[in-house]
Structure 1
């Protein structure tokens, strides 16, 4: 099995500023911290294995029936669960994109095909590109395509697919009897999330599963909490059947409930990201970087000729994400999250020092 590398490794080396993970720059809300701390009293008993209260709250928040919601120990847990529930033989994944899709598919012996996003198109996912890939890879018998994974907004590129375009892709998959898994974990950072969310159309597509997570939106990476919105109760039940019992802790469930009460938090984060993203992008370009357009809280950029930029920054206590292991990208491509202005300035100052030698 291939080795997969992620951001967030602050344990094997000293890091004072972590730009490698794409979490909310506002940090975990105080109300969520308080709820998590208070829930410690319930850690002497098993957590609710079906996350009843959290599912009820998510049902109200998302406008989806309770039986169509499955909670997990982060979105990655549900990605692996979906692979186990469906046991696809052949799947299609965009490249570059989140590595855990392919890793999960490998665990069930699934063959993965890629369709490559084009740098000259800023790595955008275009519907016609997806249709061409479906036609190319969906064959007969053993060549039948079982599953398509799409990430929107895509990680690491930051580009999102509009709702009507995703609906078109979902229709093509439905016609071909292909499962469609849409990872929308970064949807909360879009300036207009409703323009890109396929959740309102979930009932039209029994072949559809939408993945979301508290990890990124509420800066809860250490608590591990995600959920799947399934196009049918049958798909949700298949996912539940392969889940490990008690996979979502009492602390994570309490934190999730509190996070859903933070009505203004995500909007504040969107405003911060919308302000900082163009500013940071422009400053990076002034330093000689090729920055690709992003709609969310991270930037993908090429640092021409700098294959060791991550290591150079790490010596200054700053961690960024090397994208060298993403299919379709090169050794001089990196990703940084959007943080607060004073933190972004520290990153830029370190890059300036490296440039000056």
Structure 2
């Protein structure tokens, strides 16, 4: 039985399996935010044919991988660094700049605060406001970026709100932060899921702003969390040199490096994913926004945040009901600024989404 102090993340299937006696392979994981199309068939085929690369050390500079990424995102490969998931790069970047005080735009992913705290820094949160549908008020944010602020952290699109900030607004933030000698770290984990990615991504701004560091990975869009492949983009070559000097060599294994060299060129998979997510995002939002007992926040990523408006049920109880039907949503009450009226789920395959929608329709009017 789930109590109010027990919460599960998308990667906690083993815990859920043990507590609820449900085979983890039978659980539809609406909490994981991973591409429901799974790993590209093209990638799987190429990996199986090239498994012998595990017999070789990877290039410690990962030059071929970085050049493929350069082609994929449109910046010089010397402005790209790869790591063992984006978490490694976030940790190293924070370790290098050593912020005494960081501002984190929240509610958001908890790892940012953890890494800052480990590094000896303090964190304050700038809250996205529900009355603005969790969209960022840039002018108000500026008033919170005081002279003792060293780092601003933004997740774009943001988890769990699924809201995005246009790069025109990011540029305004960067200009202000540059004047105040504030570094800006932007996590673009979910950027590929957005409908108008070119209007949201800040990658191009790294060429003009040396106070910007961007992180990305392959866990979500490419459905490959087990590869532990992440990459960072930064135009500040002094920062990049420090990261390379501090980073351990060969943190990406040969299979992950090879996978990265081919997955970013898989245009058919990329297009199929974008179209599928866009269709399901619009369909699900259009259905749920007509429910009276919930408030649905317009999503831009591959997941949606929902607020429960009725007193008849809370997010803990909803989790309990659904997990017993082998559907795992995210109880969002553990996110800062949210409570047990909020839950989040990602878009899975259409028939799976329909199962969840059907159950929600029985609970909410």
Asked if 1:264 corresponds to 2:268, the answer is yes
Per-residue CA distance 1:158-207 (angstroms, 9 max, x = gap): 11111111011111111111111111111111111111122122111111
Asked if 1:296 corresponds to 2:301, the answer is yes
**Any conservation in 2 of the 1:316–1:350 contact (CA below 8 Å)?**
no
Asked if 1:105 corresponds to 2:116, the answer is yes
Asked if 1:48 corresponds to 2:43, the answer is no
Gap regions ≥5 residues in structure 1? none
Asked if 1:194 corresponds to 2:202, the answer is no
**Any conservation in 2 of the 1:23–1:217 contact (CA below 8 Å)?**
yes
Change (3 A) 1:266 1:288: farther
SS at match of 1:264: helix
2:11 matched residue in structure 1: 8
**In structure 2, what is the Cα distance between the partners aligned to 1:115 and 1:234?**
29
TM score, norm. by length of structure 1: 0.92
Spell out the pairing of 1:133-282 with structure 2 (5 A cutoff).
133-134=144-145, 138-139=146-147, 144-282=148-286
Per-residue CA distance 1:34-86 (angstroms, 9 max, x = gap): 23333431223332232221011112222222221110111122111211122
- Across the aligned residues of Structure 1 and Structure 2, the Cα RMSD in angstroms comes to 2.0
**In structure 1, what is the Cα distance between the partners aligned to 2:12 and 2:50?**
27
Structure 1 residue 353: Cα displacement: 5.1
Per-residue CA distance 1:219-276 (angstroms, 9 max, x = gap): 1112111100012111111222222221111111111111111113222222222211
2:142 matched residue in structure 1: 131
1:73 matched residue in structure 2: 84
Change (3 A) 1:39 1:92: farther
Asked if 1:82 corresponds to 2:101, the answer is no
1:315 matched residue in structure 2: 324
Structure 1 residue 346: Cα displacement: 1.4
Change (3 A) 1:10 1:238: same
Q: Which moved more, 1:61-70 or 1:153-162?
A: 61-70
**Any conservation in 2 of the 1:28–1:220 contact (CA below 8 Å)?**
yes
1:59 matched residue in structure 2: 70
Aligned length: 347
Gap regions ≥5 residues in structure 2? 1-5
**Any conservation in 2 of the 1:312–1:354 contact (CA below 8 Å)?**
no
